[in-house]
Amino acid sequence: MKRVRLGAGSGYWGDMLEPAVELAKHGELDYLGFDFLAELTMSLLQRAKMKDNTKGYIPDIVPWMRTLLPITHAQGTKMVLNGGGTNCIAAADAVMAEARQAGLSGVRVAAITGDDLTDRIGELRAAGVSLQNMEDPSRSIDEIADRIVAAHAYIGSESIIEALDLGAEVVIGGRLADSAVYVGPLMHEFGWDFDNADWDLIGAAITVAHVIECAGICCGGMSSQWKNVPEPWNMGFPIAEFAADGTAQISKLPGTGGLINQWTIKEHLLYETHNPADYRMPDGIADLTTLRVDDAGSNVVSLRDMSGRERPEMLKVQIGYTDGWIAEARVIIPFPDTLAKATAAKRSFASDWTLSG
């Protein structure tokens, strides 16, 4: 049975590069995916592009690709990332420049556009698109219409599939849904399409993508089992081996820190999930309640009985607008065992904080 190996190389802008390098070298991967974006990030990148039209992408992707491309090119591993932010074409040009500088031949880089709706708000509204607030439908976009900085739709896998079909080795998108970075390669590899879709298989792909999209977080990086996580400073990032029958195994490289068991995976299944039975992504709707999660060895978890439904008719759009400013710095230490966690964090940071009970 055909299986596809996906590695998660980043969960956010500012994540560690070293685990991605280890995955590229030793993970025997078909694909290495990267999520660099958060909601605020898109507005920040749009402002950067407004000041300089050569900017607007995650600047870290240039040194990251400089490090990773020679490895992945030699290994035959393809990379899919959303680090193009608001300027995917400029990002692709920068990555191509790195490939040429490294003397790599035959590298094909694809840039995905189409998610930027910043200049189309009026057009969409005139066409009858309400842009209803998802949290409070009673609120109108008229409240912020004259202060919009950025508007981007969360788009799915179609362009990723097309780019891979055309032979792209690196695919760079903007506000791709986090899961699309992994769903796209799976649909390409297994020859799935949306016209004759098996929605349970696509739901399984979305579920697996959701598990690994934040990289080290499903490996004990944000777990209630934090006391039992070995070597968190040497965190191993996850590998998903997805089979053609819609089952999967989640693991990490031997010798790396972190922890993968059924509980770290279950915790992450609920991360940023409003309704587990109705997890809506642009590629489909996953039902996380049918899933069965089992320990399958040391730092290996199996996933089965995943399911899904047809994709939603509407896409989510994130809109950033000017509303004053605030600056703050926080370390979030949740209940329970808050003081013990804070003390452990103090040791990790080797700082001079003063802690009070």
pLDDT in tens, 49-64: 999 999 999 999 999 9
Q: Which alpha helices (H) appear in 191-253, and where do they start and end?
A: 199-212
38 backbone φψ class: left, alpha, beta (φ>0; ψ -120 to 50): beta
Q: What percent of the chain has pLDDT over 70?
A: 96
Q: How confident is the model at residue 357 (pLDDT cuts 50, 70, 90)?
A: very low
Whether 140 contacts 156, CB under 8 Å: no
pTM score, whole prediction: 0.89
Q: What are phi and psi of 195, to 5 degrees?
A: -75, -40
CA angle, 57 as apex, 280 and 66 as ends, to 5°? Answer: 110
Give the residue with greater pLDDT, 354 vs 186. Answer: 186
Consecutive H or E run containing 32: strand 31-34
Tokens 């896998």 belong to residue: 157
Q: Is the pLDDT of residue 355 over 60?
A: no
Q: How many CA atoms lie within 13 A of 212 on its CB side?
A: 33
Q: How confident is the model at residue 247 (pLDDT cuts 50, 70, 90)?
A: very high
pLDDT the model gives residue 356 = 47
Q: Is the pLDDT of residue 328 over 90?
A: no
334 SS3 class: coil
The CA distance from 172 to 77, in Å, is: 15
Beta-bridged to residue 250, according to DSSP, are 240, 301
244 SS3 class: coil
For the chain, helix (H) and strand (E) counts, in that order, are 10, 14
pLDDT tens per residue across span 125-160: 899 888 889 888 888 888 998 999 999 999 999 999
Q: How confident is the model at residue 109 (pLDDT cuts 50, 70, 90)?
A: very high
Beta-bridged to residue 248, according to DSSP, are 242, 303
The two three-digit tokens of residue 35, written as one number = 């999520």
